[in-house]
Structure 1
């Protein structure tokens, strides 16, 4: 049985947040060692497969730039508005993205 992922940014996990396409992947905004924290705080977002991986401007091919940076900044702003301070964000996610 797969995990039920959720997002603070959308209730529709079946369509790309940016394009609306139904062919999407569920992206952990903070991945690697922060993947479980993304799940805990709802920092998971559905994005079209070509925005996710294997294309030049996709989040995993262009980390910390473009869409990847935009999503990380959205998540940090949300965190600071709803969960805690910038310092608490840094403690959990390693550094500030703003």
Structure 2
């Protein structure tokens, strides 16, 4: 059985956050070595497959820019509003995206 992830951005993990399309991929906003931190802080978001990884401009096609950068900034803003300072964010996630 797949792990049920929770997002701080939406309760509806069954539809793309941006388009409302069903059957989304669940994107970890901070991936790679920080994937578990994304899960801990709720920085996961449902994305239509083409926004996630299948098309030009998707978050994995265009890392640290475009939609990927927008999501990282959303997560950092949320962190700073709910958990700690910008320096706290840097200590946890390695750098500031704002």
Give the structure-1-normalised TM-score. Answer: 0.97
1:23 and 1:2, CA in 2 relative to 1: closer, same or farther beyond 3 A?
closer
Structure 2: unaligned runs, 5 residues or longer: none
1:25-53 alpha-carbon deviations (Å, 9 max, x no partner): 00000000110000000000000000000
Say whether residues 1:88 and 2:88 are aligned partners: yes
Residues paired across the two proteins, number: 98
In structure 2, the partner of 1:79 is 79
Q: 2:27 & 2:12 partners in 1: Cα distance?
A: 13
In structure 2, the partner of 1:35 is 35
Give the structure-2-normalised TM-score. Answer: 0.97
In structure 2, the partner of 1:66 is 66
DSSP 3-state at the match of 1:53: helix
Pairwise CA RMSD of aligned residues? 0.6
